[in-house]
Amino acid sequence: MLAESYLRSGKVRDLYSINDGRMVLVASDRISAFDVVLPSTIPDKGRVLTGLSRFWFAETASIMRNHLLDTDPSVLADTLRAEIRAAGHEPPDLGPLDAIRGRIMICRPASVIPIEAVVRGYLAGSGWKEYRERGTVCGIRLPAGLRESDRLPEPIFTPATKAEQGEHDQNITFDGMIDHLAAWRRGMTGFSGPFAEAIRDRALRLYRYGAAVAERKGILLADTKFEFGLAMTGDPDAPFGPPEERIAPISRVGRRPEPIPPGPPESIMILIDEVMTPDSSRFWDAATYAPDGPQASFDKQFVRDWLEAQRWDKTAPGPELPPDVIEGTRARYVEAFERITGASFTRYLEEDVIAR
């Protein structure tokens, strides 16, 4: 039945709409590199991404509101049954929910802000490449003499445009971001400057908090990207934030969210998509950290390194990953989950809870 609500697919997630005004994100095990979705999958990767995002949405709710409303598949099943009954039909057996358990997020709909809010705390990746050439990262002048993987004096905000699937995101300056936001929403010209500052402020605050949490767990958050949206609906009875932080469950079946009143865009900005996961971040092992070169990581770099050694032009469909790369990637993702959350991934698979 969920297939009838399908909207579109991203590189990793499939997006559905349910009639009570909410969206459903289902994280698959697909993996992308160099903006190409590879033909291989990484077992349980979607559950790692969802579980870590749930953890961070709960951890950062005091910094910024987010789109997550629920993660229980039974809530989705009840909503679908209610929709079918409202249409005058008796709902069929929806079958087992195990396939989506631990993968779904039921979310408040939002208009996606077309900016990748990237924050860098260390010099790596495209930032290191630009620094070697010009001494800057996204136009921001950095001190001379920095080495690859050096910790920056302060985290820096380096936005990028959001590209269509298969295209490359483009790094832009902060002034370029202001212009990009003004072009995105006509009539925002007078607000795009303060709006851009609000995005930068939230991204830096989220990064600093996440980096501190991760470092206590022995992981360095080298850089990460956040996605924000403008909330399209409001619901006075449903608090922002994921179920992990709630005292009691809230029934939503058959209820429609209320419209959000108009106001400056930053007043309805929420954190969306995924948060500080191995897909959206560089996670380094603090125990082996040694600047002046690449670092041992718990993210997609393991896959990128293997791909760089292949004869591949970085266009679709990409090569099949060998079993050792698939297994090694899964192990790194699971270790990131367990070290950051302090929870058992096995228990998450069995019970859909983030707990020891």
User: For 165-183, what is each residue's pLDDT tens digit?
Assistant: 556 678 999 999 999 999 8
Q: How far apart are CA 317 and CA 39, in angstroms?
A: 7
Three-state DSSP state, 228: strand
For residues 222 and 295, the answer to whether their CB atoms sit within 8 Å is yes
First to last CA, the chain: 34
Place of tokens 């009639």: 19
Q: What is the number of other CB atoms lying within 10 angstroms of the CB of residue 170?
A: 13
pLDDT digits (tens, 9 = 90+) for 82-117: 777 877 877 776 667 788 999 999 999 999 999 999
Residues 6+ apart with CB under 8 A from 177: 115, 159, 196, 199
Q: How far apart are CA 110 and CA 23, in angstroms?
A: 9
155: enclosing H helix or E strand:
strand 151-157
For residues 309 and 315, the answer to whether their CB atoms sit within 8 Å is no
The C-alpha angle 70, 73, 74, rounded to 5 degrees, equals: 100
The pLDDT score that the predictor gives to residue 3 is: 59
Q: What is the number of other CB atoms lying within 10 angstroms of the CB of residue 247?
A: 4
For residues 224 and 118, the answer to whether their CB atoms sit within 8 Å is yes
What percent of the chain lies above the pLDDT cut of 90? Answer: 69
pLDDT digits (tens, 9 = 90+) for 180-235: 999 887 766 678 899 999 999 999 999 999 999 999 999 999 999 999 999 986 54
Please, what's the b/e burial string for 303-324 (b: 16 or more CB within 10 A of its CB; e: otherwise)?
beebbeeeeeeeeeebeebeee
Q: What are phi and psi of 299, to 5 degrees?
A: -150, -160
Q: What is the DSSP string of 79-127?
A: HHHHHHHHTT-PPPP----TTTTTTEEEE--EEE-SEEEEEEEE--HHH
Please indicate whether residue 76 or residue 296 has the higher confidence score (pLDDT): 296
Mean pLDDT, the chain, rounded, equals 87
Q: How far apart are CA 65 and CA 60, in angstroms?
A: 8
Entry field: residues in the chain: 356
Three-state DSSP state, 172: coil
pLDDT digits (tens, 9 = 90+) for 104-150: 999 999 999 999 999 999 999 999 999 999 999 988 999 999 999 99
Is the pLDDT at 241 greater than 90? The verdict is no
The pLDDT score that the predictor gives to residue 187 is: 62
| Tokens describing residue 309 | 């050694």
Q: What are phi and psi of 248, to 5 degrees?
A: -135, 150
Is the pLDDT at 312 greater than 90? The verdict is yes
Beta-bridged to residue 70, according to DSSP, are 106
The pLDDT score that the predictor gives to residue 81 is: 78
The pLDDT score that the predictor gives to residue 237 is: 39
Q: Give the least confident one: 15-24, 58-67, 190-199.
A: 15-24
Place 254 in a pLDDT band, splitting at 50, 70 and 90: very low
The pLDDT score that the predictor gives to residue 166 is: 52
Beta-bridged to residue 105, according to DSSP, are 25
